[in-house]
Amino acid sequence: MKRVLTGRFMHETNTFSVQETDMALWRRRDFHRDNEIPVAFRGTRSALGATFEAADKYRWTLIHPVSANANPSGIVTDDAFEQIGGMILDAAERQRPIDGVLLHLHGAMVVASYEDGEGELLARLRKSLGPEIPIVVTLDLHANVTQAMADNASASVSSCRVNRRPLAPNAMRMPSSRRRNTERASIAPATFAQAITSTSTTPAPSAPPIVR
């Protein structure tokens, strides 16, 4: 069985805000560790929910050290970035062998010492795992995709389904968001399955095109 490192580390940073995003703010909203994660996300219409569904389908063993999603707020403190990012990087080192990585990020995280938080995390992860391990990330449509992110991820997925049926004006925003999140959640594991099985003798499952 393939061993897949997964997790969620999401923040949309507002650099104009004077409120730093420290560990207290991360823990206040949506913060889960290890065995708390399947209980919270399995069966949900979310990126991690789809990851668990794909793991059952493709027979992956999931390693899930952390799921952290803070409210949009000010610059992330170095301490919070090192703590949460360190949980992912420590798992990559200690839980070997790792056959692939499927991370759920936002794409607009700014850290006190790193303007490109996701790029820094992915660069460290790539350095740890080497060039051959597939690293696939999901991103929000508001992501600021950088060269470092593109260089260190095997694929990045962010998508939106266009609703062609007319809706009342007050019904458009939330359903659109739900469709967007569900579609991104379903595309990413299929794309990852294609990447992780590309060197296998078993044909890779079909997947939508990779978006980078």
- Work out how many domains the chain is built from and give that number: 1
Q: Does residue 208 sit within a domain?
A: no
pLDDT band with cut points at 50, 70 and 90 for residue 176: very low
The DSSP code for 75 is P
Q: Does residue 189 sit within a domain?
A: yes
Q: What angle do CA 121, 142, 129 make, to 5 degrees?
A: 20
| Mean predicted confidence (pLDDT) in 11-38 | 95
Q: Does residue 172 sit within a domain?
A: yes
Whether 13 and 110 have beta carbons less than 8 Å apart is answered as yes
Closest C-alpha among 156, 142, 144 to residue 114:
144
pTM: 0.79
pLDDT band with cut points at 50, 70 and 90 for residue 198: low
Where are the strands (E) in 38-147, listed by range? 60-63, 66-69, 100-105, 135-138
Task: Report pLDDT for 180.
Answer: 43
Tokens encoding 169: 């004006």
Q: Does residue 147 sit within a domain?
A: yes
Q: Which of 54-58, 62-66, 195-199 has the highest mean pLDDT?
A: 62-66
Q: What is the CA radius of gyration of the chain?
A: 17
Q: Does residue 212 sit within a domain?
A: no
> Which pLDDT tens digit goes with each residue over 108-144?
999 999 999 999 999 999 999 999 999 999 999 889 9
Q: Does residue 113 sit within a domain?
A: yes
CATH number, domain at 166? 3.40.50
The whole-chain average pLDDT of the chain stands at 82
Measured distance CA(212)–CA(200) in Å, rounded: 23
pLDDT band with cut points at 50, 70 and 90 for residue 45: confident
Cis peptide before 97 (omega within 30 of 0): yes
Measured distance CA(172)–CA(90) in Å, rounded: 42
Q: Does residue 211 sit within a domain?
A: no
> Which pLDDT tens digit goes with each residue over 149-159?
999 999 998 85
Per the structure, the complete domain to which residue 68 belongs is given by: 2-196
- Angle between helix 78-94 and helix 117-129 axes, rounded to 10 deg: 20
Q: Does residue 209 sit within a domain?
A: no
